[in-house]
Chains A and B, each alone.
Chain A
Amino acid sequence: QQQVKQSPQSLIVQKGGISIINCAYENTAFDYFPWYQQFPGKGPALLIAIRPDVSEKKEGRFTISFNKSAKQFSLHIMDSQPGDSATYFCAALDSSYKLIFGSGTRLLVRP
């Protein structure tokens, strides 16, 4: 119930391509879904977040798509750049205000 399942574990994309990372959850009490980006040796940094009352949120090259009925959400990175190479984590906020994280996706964008 408290899990957030993330896939794929790793992803290689050519520069300019679209990176897509998927997450799924079971707990319908989750009401805030952030994505974090983490570079090696650094803490995670908030990238973009969505609440379940909207189906899509776009910020620059980053878009979250949210499917409430399927309990799934995804991150799309358009025009992927080598500087986007990092580990991405989806997360969900539970009713106790704890973030439940997915297992992470290591993205490599080839020049």
Chain B
Amino acid sequence: GAGVSQSPSNKVTEKGKDVELRCDPISGHTALYWYRQRLGQGLEFLIYFQGNSAPDKSGLPSDRFSAERTGESVSTLTIQRTQQEDSAVYLCASSLQAPDTQYFGPGTRLTVL
């Protein structure tokens, strides 16, 4: 079946604007994760959804970051009032359920000018 998909693949925005990044997990996967990968660095956990449980938001770097998930499908990561330090690749992953293997999407490359 199809893997994890993310859109857009690239996003260029101006400092101060809001952006929305979308993730479509693998069908049937109840767990969904967002990570941030800065240039040349490892992945940094942001937030994780498991079914109908309250999300684990412990990795969100500031209150400008938020994420939603509709049931067990699409998730949207929103960054408000973007800053240059938000420039990174944002990766989404899904798993059948936590803590099963996480499958990653191709990421959204965000550039804040």
Task: Report if B31 contacts A (CB, 8 A).
Answer: yes
Question: Could you say which residues of chain A place their CB within 8 Å of the CB of B104?
Answer: 36, 43-45
Measured between beta carbons, the chain B residues less than 8 angstroms from A61 are: none
| Total A-B Cβ pairs within 8 A | 54
A97 and B48 contact, Cβ closer than 8 Å, known pairs A32-B99, A89-B43, A104-B41: yes
Contact B56 A96 (CB under 8 A): yes
B 19-58 contacts with A by CB, 8 A: 31, 33, 35, 40-45, 48, 50, 56, 58
What is the total number of residues of chain A having a CB less than 8 Å from a CB of chain B? 23
- Please report which residues of chain B, range 77-105, place their CB below 8 angstroms from some CB of chain A when the two chains form the complex: 91, 93, 98-99, 101-105
Task: Name the CB-closest residue of A to B92.
Answer: A43
Chain A residues, CB < 8 A from B67: none
Instruction: Using C-beta atoms within 8 Å of the partner chain, give the interface range for chain B.
Output: 20 to 34
B17 CB, nearest partner CB in chain A, Å: 24
State whether the Cβ of B59 lies closer than 8 Å to any Cβ in chain A: yes
Contacts A43-B91, A46-B101, A46-B102; A99 near B45 (Cβ below 8 A): yes
Chain A residues near B45: list those with CB within 8 A.
Answer: 98-100
The docked-state distance in angstroms from the alpha carbon of A97 to that of B44 is: 14
Query: Which residues of chain B are near A44, meaning CB under 8 Å?
Result: 43, 91, 104
Is residue A101 within 8 Å, beta carbon to beta carbon, of the partner chain? Answer: yes
* Interface positions of A from 91 to 109, Cβ below 8 Å from B: 91, 93, 96-104
Mark each residue of chain A from 67 to 106: 1 if its CB lies under 8 Å from any CB of chain B, else 0: 0000000000000000000000101010011111111100
Chain A residues within 8 Å of B, Cβ to Cβ: 6, 32, 34, 36, 41-46, 49, 89, 91, 93, 96-104
List 18 A–B pairs whose Cβ atoms lie within 8 Å, in order of A's numbering. A32-B99, A41-B106, A43-B4, A43-B107, A46-B101, A89-B42, A93-B99, A98-B48, A98-B58, A98-B59, A99-B45, A99-B102, A100-B45, A101-B35, A101-B44, A102-B42, A103-B42, A104-B40
